[in-house]
Amino acid sequence: MICFMVNRRNMNKAILILVLLLVISCKDVKKANENYDNCFQIEIGMSIDDVILIMGEPDTILTETMEEASIYTMFYYPPPLASTGIDIYIDDETRTVVKVICSE
């Protein structure tokens, strides 16, 4: 028979780690919810600088070509349980918003 004994010191470490993980995840949820709320302030034709003022720096940027135009897609963390992320499409030439998806 194998006995496993958990001493008080190890238990305190485990609790501390769980608390830290909870705090970190709550921060991410708060930021994701802010992203979602802020997304509805973004309008077609808005400059990329205005988008960054409202949304902050994007979590990811992707560049693609659509209909012979180069488009930046700026991705932001979506709120929990959302089926899609928050995507803001920026025309490379005009540096303005051409499409906004605020998650579903």
Residue 3 domain flag: no
pLDDT in tens, the chain (104 residues): 444 555 666 777 777 777 666 655 566 677 778 888 999 999 999 999 999 999 988 888 888 776 667 777 878 777 666 667 788 988 888 999 999 998 76
Please, are residues 79 and 55 in contact by the beta-carbon 8 Å criterion?
no
Q: How many domains does the chain have?
A: 1
CATH number of the domain within which 38 lies: 3.30.1450.10
Rg (alpha carbons) of the chain, rounded to whole number = 21
- Cα distances (angstroms) measured from residue 16 to each of 19, 30, 59, 65, 85: 5, 21, 28, 47, 31
Quick check: is 1 in a domain? no
Please report how many Cα atoms fall inside a 13 Å half-sphere around the Cα of residue 33, on the Cβ side: 7
The answer to whether position 57 is within a domain reads yes
Q: What is the pLDDT of residue 2?
A: 46
Domain that holds residue 48: 8-102
